[in-house]
Amino acid sequence: MGNICRSPIAEGIVRERLRVEGLTGQIATDSAGTHSYHLGKAPDRRAQALMAEQGIDISDLRARQVDGFDFEFFDVVLAMDEGNYEWLRAEAPSAQRAKIRPMLSYAESAQQVDWVPDPYFGGDSGFRRVYELIDNAANGLMDHLRASADD
């Protein structure tokens, strides 16, 4: 929603995987929120700390809101939860709606949840759960991105 918790974690994970696989220059990433709550702010300190534990620096990211350019430019637009998914589908031009997918639709193993929970009002354990869910889904997302890069 505000682009300071889940989306920066996802962008950090995906950016790192792209770096490791040498795909950084071939695939563009960016995270954005559906609301303007935290425009220009760095990721939540808990998200930054968790990612730093994983050796991933997300301190350079700044919150921004999704705009029409995103639907045109990106081949995949990922939603963390149902409310954001519905917002994105409502805002996207009809020709671009097929690009919008739940992040966890790329998960490789049973998650027992359909959406990534918002950890903002919780503690560190909520951020760890978000990391685990997104990390798992990033495996399937990377398979998809590799296939797209080869096309």
Tokens at 135, concatenated: 């990390």
* Domain membership flag for residue 1: no
Catalytic residue among 30, 62, 89, 118: 118
Q: What is the CATH classification number for the domain harbouring 10?
A: 3.40.50.2300
150 carries an active-site annotation: no
Q: Is 32 helix (H, G, I), strand (E, B) or coil?
A: coil
The pLDDT tens digits along the chain (151 residues) read 999 999 999 999 999 999 999 989 889 999 999 999 999 999 999 999 999 999 999 999 999 999 999 999 999 999 999 999 999 999 999 999 999 999 999 998 766 788 999 999 988 999 999 999 999 999 999 998 888 766 6
Are the C-beta atoms of 116 and 106 separated by less than 8 Å? no
* Domain membership flag for residue 150: no
The pTM for the full model equals 0.94
The neighbouring-strand residues paired with 78 are 101
φ/ψ of residue 102, rounded to 5: -65, 135
Tokens at 101, concatenated: 């997918």
Domains held by the chain: number: 1
Residues of the domain holding 62 = 6-145
* Domain membership flag for residue 95: yes
114 carries an active-site annotation: no
Tokens at 147, concatenated: 């296939």
* Domain membership flag for residue 87: yes
Catalytic residue among 6, 15, 46, 64: 6
* Domain membership flag for residue 151: no
* Domain membership flag for residue 83: yes
